[in-house]
């Protein structure tokens, strides 16, 4: 049987932690008198914490010292982590567990490729960390998506060629990273936003076993 690398983003793909990121960033923005909306939050998908803060400051035309930025970044992460304390398997998005189990049964390579620096504790809290052969997160890479570093490193650790790798992503930057890396990109979300992806599904409940099988044998 062919062995491929199936690489998953975390936020918005496996778990819906995006809502907690939004609340934490909104708290920072409000303290700076910046109006930060759900629409603005779309700009932060797949983006590093440092870059996210710069985007928010830009929305409010706020100039800040590096010292202030560092303080806000720590505060944001502490607020975000406080929301994660009570996370459990109920946070896993519909259809994800079934897909992971299917890939495990078919002895495929499974990796996480996420900008999050909290990926491991989240996977542990939701009880699915054992499904992942490889975890590459924000602690392991220096370049943010759309740079493909996080996905290329995941494929490398799985000892699988990038062209035999499939990436599940919910962000434009993530889809672009997969495409730049020469991988198959599968968008999870809205077609109007993720139109650059090779395939697009609203969520994992829309993905049939036959589709996964076709990716394996392709």
Is 9 assigned a catalytic role?
A: yes
Domain with 78 in it: 17-84
* Cis amide linkage into residue 146, ω under 30° from 0: yes
Of the chain, the percentage scoring pLDDT greater than 90 comes to 87
The residue with greater pLDDT, 98 or 19, is 98
Residue 77 among known ligand-binding residues: no
Specify whether 108 is located in the same domain as 207: yes
Specify whether 126 is located in the same domain as 197: yes
Average pLDDT score over the chain: 95
Closest to 108 measured CA to CA, from 175, 188, 168, 169: 168
pLDDT of residue 218: 86
Specify whether 60 is located in the same domain as 160: no
Specify whether 78 is located in the same domain as 95: no
Specify whether 183 is located in the same domain as 97: yes
User: Which domain CATH number covers 154?
Assistant: 3.40.50.1000
Mean pLDDT to the nearest integer, 107-116: 95
Give the end of a domain, one of 43, 60, 84.
84
Specify whether 25 is located in the same domain as 121: no
Residue of 11, 79, 105, 161 marked active site: 11
Residue of 9, 70, 88, 164 marked active site: 9
Three-state SS string over 3-28 comes to CCEEEECCECCCECCHHHHHHHHHHH
Q: State the burial class of residue 129 (Cβ atoms within 10 Å of its Cβ: 0-12, 13-18, 19+).
A: middle
Residue 44 among known ligand-binding residues: yes
pTM: 0.85
pLDDT of residue 1: 63
* C-alpha separations of 179 from 31, 125, 172, 185, 194 in Å: 38, 31, 11, 6, 12
- Kindly state the helix (H) or strand (E) to which residue 120 belongs, with its residue range: helix 119-125
Specify whether 167 is located in the same domain as 115: yes
**Cα(123)–Cα(133) distance, integer angstroms:** 12
Give the end of a domain, one of 84, 101, 118.
84
pLDDT of residue 110: 98
pLDDT tens for each residue of 21-36: 999 999 999 999 999 9
Specify whether 69 is located in the same domain as 174: no
Residue 51 among known ligand-binding residues: no
Task: Give the total number of structural domains in the chain.
Answer: 2
Specify whether 65 is located in the same domain as 103: no
Binning pLDDT at 50, 70 and 90, where does residue 48 land?
confident
Q: CB neighbours (10 Å) of residue 116?
A: 21
State both tokens at 174: 């993530």
Q: Is the pLDDT assigned to residue 117 strictly greater than 90?
A: no
Give the end of a domain, one of 43, 66, 84.
84
Residue 174 among known ligand-binding residues: no
Residue 46 among known ligand-binding residues: yes
Residue 149 among known ligand-binding residues: no
Specify whether 35 is located in the same domain as 114: no
Specify whether 32 is located in the same domain as 73: yes
42 within 8 A of 18, measured Cβ to Cβ = no
Is 198 assigned a catalytic role?
A: no
pLDDT tens for each residue of 78-93: 999 999 888 999 999 9
Specify whether 78 is located in the same domain as 21: yes
Binning pLDDT at 50, 70 and 90, where does residue 116 land?
confident
pLDDT tens for each residue of 126-153: 999 999 999 999 999 999 899 999 999 9
User: Which domain CATH number covers 50?
Assistant: 1.10.150.240
């Amino acid at each position: 049987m062919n062995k491929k690398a199936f690489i998953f983003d975390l936020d918005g793909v496996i778990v819906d932690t995006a809502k907690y990121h939004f609340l934490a960033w909104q708290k920072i923005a409000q303290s700076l008198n910046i109006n930060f909306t759900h629409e603005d939050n779309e700009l932060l998908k797949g983006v590093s914490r440092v870059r996210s803060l710069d985007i928010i400051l830009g929305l409010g035309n706020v100039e800040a010292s590096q010292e202030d930025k560092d303080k806000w970044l720590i505060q944001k992460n502490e607020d975000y982590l406080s929301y994660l304390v009570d996370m459990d398997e109920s946070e896993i998005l519909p259809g994800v567990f079934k897909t992971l189990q299917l890939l495990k049964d078919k002895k495929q390579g499974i990796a996480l490729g996420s900008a999050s620096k909290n990926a491991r504790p989240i996977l542990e809290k939701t009880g699915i960390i054992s499904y992942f052969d490889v975890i590459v997160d924000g602690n392991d890479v220096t370049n943010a998506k759309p740079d493909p570093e996080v996905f290329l490193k995941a494929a490398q650790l799985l000892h699988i060629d990038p062209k035999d790798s499939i990436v599940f992503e919910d962000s434009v930057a993530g889809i672009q990273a997969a495409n730049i890396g020469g991988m198959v990109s599968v968008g999870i979300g809205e077609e109007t936003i993720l139109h650059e992806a090779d395939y697009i599904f609203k969520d994992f409940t829309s993905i049939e076993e036959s589709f996964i099988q076709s990716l394996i044998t392709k």
